[in-house]
Structure 1
Amino acid sequence: MTVLTERFTRAVDHARIAHAAQVRKGSGIPYLYHLLGVASLVIEFGGDEDQAIAGLLHDLIEDCGEAHEPIIRAQFGGRVADIVRACTDGTAEGKASHADPEAKRRDWLARKQAYLAHLHEAGGDVLLVSACDKLHNARAIVQDLENPGVGTAVFARFTGGRDGTLQYYESLARTMAARDVAVAPVLDAVVGRMHELAGALPRHPLAQS
């Protein structure tokens, strides 16, 4: 049984404050919803408190900046900070440096390819948190695809567009399965549903697993 202490409570508050101005793409839902969802999935799939805290904080460097890494390390420990860093495929500063759409797309593709390669070597802590993050995001995409008011227009929110997004999630599902992550069967089913609703051709990976 995973025991949650006041460290987890502090991490929730830290995430709430750091992401206070952010909402989920295409909605007014506070971003904390996603972070709580990831942490919940980590616990559901057997994660411990450090891993659950990393689930809460996994987007801090990517969305709020590099300055958060030493804060995480000081307040929540090296293991949590290492997981958060390893789950980060780009920084807020790095993303902001690309202005035009084509540069953003090239940067997105390079980051996703590098992240997929990184997952082949990542440890169990990182794989669990990363898989839970991707599962929560994939479920949100499927929910929008099932919504007649959104449908395939959901892909306009993403730098990779429809094809890039589908290929990325296919590659994630294959990689998590190859690494035997507990979340992998659920992620694979959701990604399959995503492809079905998107009217996609047979599932095609961005990078071979």
Structure 2
Amino acid sequence: MTALTHRFIQAVDYARIAHAAQFRKGSRIPYIYHLLGVSSLVLEYGGSEDQAIAGLLHDVLEDCGGDHLATIRAQFGDGVAKIVDDCTDGTAESKDKPKTDTDKFANWVERKLVYIAHIATEDRGSLLVSACDKLHNARAILADLQGDAGDLVFSRFTAGRLGTLQYYEAIARVMLERADPADRRFHELAREFDRAVGQMHAHAGAEARVPLGKETLVA
């Protein structure tokens, strides 16, 4: 059983302050909802306190700025900082550079292809947090698909319906490839994520589960 200390409470407060003005896409739900959800999944699937803290902070660089990395390292240690860095596919500064829809899409494709390649060899400590992040997101998308939003949920994402489905399919395949049956909890996590992605495709009316790749770039 993972014991949580004052460091975890400090991380909750850090995340609360850093993301104070942010909300989940298409809602007025405070963004910390997602961060608490990811951290809870990390603990559910056997993660350490460092991994649970990284779950709380995994979006800080991406949404609040790369300068936070040094502060996270100083306050929570090298282990947490490494996981947060591994879970980041672009800082707030780099994501803000593209201005046109075309440039934003091209930037999205480049970042996602790099991220998919990264998780294929990512340290297993970081991989658990990455998988929990993506599972929480997939479940949120699925809930919207099954609810009032329907297919309109994809209008919130840079790559739209096709690109979003391709991205999650690519991640699901990598997670399954890295799921060692000897690591029972991560194996279960990868299978649960794959089920969620399959349900996303089914509710979106996708004819096939095609991963994002250089040969399948969406337009």
Tell me if both proteins adopt one fold, taking TM over 0.5 as the criterion. yes
Match of 1:167 in 2: 166
Match of 1:64 in 2: 64
Match of 1:155 in 2: 154
4+ residue runs of structure 1 moved beyond 6 angstroms?
A: none
Report the AA paired with residue 70 of structure 1.
Answer: A
Match of 2:139 in 1: 139
Match of 1:97 in 2: 97
Match of 1:202 in 2: 208
Report the AA paired with residue 33 of structure 1.
Answer: Y
Report the AA paired with residue 162 of structure 1.
Answer: R
The CA distance in 2 between the partners of 1:171 and 1:136, in whole Å, is 16
> Residues 16-165 of structure 1 correspond to what in structure 2 (within 5 A)?
16-147=16-147, 149-165=148-164
State the Cα distance separating 1:145 from its structure 2 match. 0.2
The CA distance in 2 between the partners of 1:207 and 1:171, in whole Å, is 8
Q: Any gaps of 5 or more consecutive residues in structure 1?
A: none
State the Cα distance separating 1:128 from its structure 2 match. 0.2
Residues 72-91 of structure 1 deviation map (CA, whole Å, 9 limit, x = unaligned) = 00000000000000100001
The alignment partner of 2:12 has SS state of helix
Give the number of aligned pairs: 207
**Which has the higher mean CA deviation after the structures are superposed, 176-185 or 19-28?**
176-185
The CA distance in 2 between the partners of 1:206 and 1:23, in whole Å, is 27
- Among the aligned pairs, what percent are the same residue? 60
Q: What TM-score results when the alignment is normalised by the length of structure 2?
A: 0.93
State the Cα distance separating 1:207 from its structure 2 match. 3.1
Q: What TM-score results when the alignment is normalised by the length of structure 1?
A: 0.98
The answer to whether 1:15 aligns with 2:15 is yes
The answer to whether 1:176 aligns with 2:182 is no
Report the AA paired with residue 107 of structure 1.
Answer: N
RMSD: 0.9
Report the AA paired with residue 166 of structure 1.
Answer: L
